[in-house]
Amino acid sequence: MAASPALIGAAAAPDAELRAALEQARALDPLHTLMVVRNGTVLAEHRFRGPAPDRSVNIKSVSKTIIASLVGIAIRRGHLTGVDEPVAPLLRDKLPRGADPRLHRVTIGHLLSMQAGLERTSGPFYGRWVSSPDWVRFVLARPFVADPGGPMLYSTGNTHLLSAILTRRTGRSTLELARDWLGDPLNISIPPWPRDPQGIFFGGNDMLMSPRALSRFAAMVLSHGRVGGTEVVPRSWIEASWQPQARSAFTGDSYGYGWFRREDAHLRRYYAWGFGGQMIHVVPDLGLSIVMTSDPTQRSGGSSGHSAALHRLVEQAIIPAFTG
């Protein structure tokens, strides 16, 4: 049986309220680990079940937020010209014959905000995509179901194209970039994760990071992209990533570049979300970050599912411990 939830530095929040929130978290069977950090201080860290907080776990689609950060760094370093750069010239040899002219209008920004307009490779289309011999070519050959820049069509294939583009433009694997640009300055370990048949590291799913590593990433984001005096992710990129570009048909929340946005009681909250209930929440007005990892094999969607329960935990228990 897991020990009672641990509070560290609890003076930064009402001890009883935060402890009560952790007891509520314990009742969520799929939840493995919960971390609460404020202004760089770890207030609570608890493993309810599953691997220890320093063990790397599958963060599922939280990977999309990590890849989006790498794109922002690549733009700052001059490997990409910006979010308006067209994708087709970067992947010219992978374009289908007789490609729809709209393919030449798809930009880096459209991939980041899930507005490419191509038929999705997530949900019911996922299995066929990852079983294909060339994932990049498969994504680019999907029919258009909307114009580029139109509605949000959540598709992991979009982020995988970004991984392929990063690899081509830098001459380095996405794993190398993640370790160099994020791992080293954050002092976190990023182990290898799955690759496609051409050796491109999976963009947008199945990355491996520990809850503590995610917590350091979140703290860096809340520090405007800096660790000490070192810029890790450009502040301007974080701010751009949080700007609404589209809206999720599943949650109603707005979506920027790898981050969802929700407002509760006039507090802006941004979150990264992965299958099964992998989450990072950041609340800039409170200097607060929350990391949650869960069983990555169990579906978590729906208004009564595990992800909804995690949102309620954040909104009704954890945040009130700092605002009540």
What is the per-residue pLDDT for 9?
44
Mean pLDDT of 120-131: 96
pLDDT of residue 298 exceeding 90, the answer is no
234 and 292 together in one domain: no
The sign of the dihedral angle between the CA atoms of 103, 82, 209, 199 is: positive
Residue 66 lies in a domain: yes
Query: What CATH number has the domain bearing residue 201?
Result: 3.40.710.10
76 and 40 together in one domain: no
What is the per-residue pLDDT for 261?
97
Domain of residue 64 covers: 60-210+228-244
Residue 217 lies in a domain: no
What is the per-residue pLDDT for 10?
41
Token representation of residue 260: 């969802």
**What one-letter code names the amino acid at 122?**
S
71 and 197 together in one domain: yes
Helix runs in the chain, H state only:
15-26, 62-76, 108-112, 126-130, 135-140, 156-170, 174-178, 184-186, 211-222, 235-241, 306-313, 320-323
Residue 83 CA from chain centroid, whole number: 18
| Per-chain mean pLDDT for the chain | 93
288 and 234 together in one domain: no
Confidence of residue 4 (pLDDT cuts 50, 70, 90): very low
What is the per-residue pLDDT for 65?
98
Residue 215 lies in a domain: no
Residue 175 CA from chain centroid, whole number: 16
168 and 34 together in one domain: no
291 and 194 together in one domain: no
Mean pLDDT of 92-99: 96
Please, are residues 269 and 282 in contact by the beta-carbon 8 Å criterion? yes
166 and 120 together in one domain: yes
Taking alpha carbons only, the member of 110, 99, 97, 108 closest to residue 147 is 110
191 and 316 together in one domain: no
Q: How many structural domains is the chain composed of?
A: 2
